[in-house]
């Protein structure tokens, strides 16, 4: 069952999702002295990263116990303006002085298949051979219903191999290759959150949440954590076509 939290404004949505980030991080660090999070790319989470970097409500977090991964990356070098790693570094990681060994970036400068294979190895090694279960995975949703880099019609989620955790894909509608978590890896997480704001996402969001199950057309419908939970953080504009609770 999808949990949905709607705020009147995008700013309120950011404050709410930041509050969840902080509480989950504290809970996991108190329990096991470490917190693993996979960040999303795109423009929406930029203000979340800036909030976490600057807001005093996050000052008390033991940032040196937080390990950062990415749910997807573009096939570009880490200094490229399209790099999801670069965006998070400039807005959050540098400000909070995250130790280099806690930053697990996808090596977008490599051939995507090589980058995906290396990242899968790194993730499996980090989880010490146990099935990888991130504490938190942050996702966005594109206008076409994609999430991470699971795009409509792409071969990424036809990767039914249960042991595939990271895929490399070429997306016909984009000039770039991508490296992405598979739905299998995302659904293994303890907590998955979507951050979706703006009127321009309203119709797609309605189709994803209230339309027929068409994951090939709306890959965000693939996200349904096996044991963990899923929360959609929305602003009123993005949620404007949803049936009121
Ligand atoms: C990426 C993201 C992607 C993003 C959506 C929404 O690498 O682009 O991981 O899945 O979350 O495209 O992007 P916006 O927030 O820019 O609308």
Amino acid 239: pLDDT: 98
> Whose C-alpha lies nearest to ligand 1, atom 10?
148
| Distance (Å, whole) CA 171 – CA 105 | 21
Residues 178-187 have a mean pLDDT of: 96
pLDDT tens for residues 135-146? 999 999 999 999
The helix/strand/coil state of 178 is strand
User: Which DSSP category does 236 fall into?
Assistant: T
Give the domain ranges of the chain: 3-235
Q: CATH classification of 3-235 is 3.40.50.1360, yes or no?
A: yes
Our mutation pick for probing the ligand 1 site, out of 75, 142, 151, 238, counting the most ligand atoms within 8 A of Cβ, is 142
30 alpha carbon – ligand 1 mean position (Å): 31
Residues 92-100 have a mean pLDDT of: 98
238 pLDDT higher than 80: yes
Amino acid 158: pLDDT: 60
Find the range with the poorest average confidence among 83-92, 133-142, 169-178: 169-178
pLDDT tens for residues 204-218? 999 999 999 999 999
Amino acid 2: pLDDT: 73
């Amino acid at each position: 069952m999808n949990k949905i939290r709607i705020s009147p404004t995008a700013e309120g949505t950011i404050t709410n999702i930041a509050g969840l980030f902080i509480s989950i991080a504290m809970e996991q660090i108190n329990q096991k002295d470490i917190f693993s999070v996979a960040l999303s790319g795109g423009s929406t989470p930029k203000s979340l990263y800036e909030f976490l970097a600057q807001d005093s409500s996050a000052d008390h977090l033991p940032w040196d116990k937080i390990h950062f991964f990415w749910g997807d990356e573009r096939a570009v070098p880490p200094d490229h303006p399209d790099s999801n790693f670069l965006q998070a570094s400039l807005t959050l990681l540098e400000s909070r002085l995250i130790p280099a060994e806690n930053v697990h970036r996808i090596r977008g400068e490599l051939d995507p298949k090589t980058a995906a294979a290396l990242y899968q190895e790194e993730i499996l090694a980090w989880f010490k051979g146990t099935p990888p279960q991130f504490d938190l995975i942050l996702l966005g949703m594109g206008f076409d219903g994609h999430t991470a880099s699971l795009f409509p019609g792409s071969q990424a989620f036809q990767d039914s191999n249960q042991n595939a955790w990271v895929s490399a894909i070429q997306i016909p509608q984009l000039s770039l290759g991508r490296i992405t978590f598979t739905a299998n890896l995302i659904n293994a997480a303890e907590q998955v959150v979507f951050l979706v704001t703006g009127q321009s996402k309203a119709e797609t969001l309605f189709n994803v949440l209230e339309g027929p199950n068409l994951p090939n057309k709306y890959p965000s419908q693939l996200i349904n954590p096996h044991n963990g939970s899923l929360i959609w953080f929305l602003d009123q504009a993005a949620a404007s076509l949803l049936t009121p609770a």
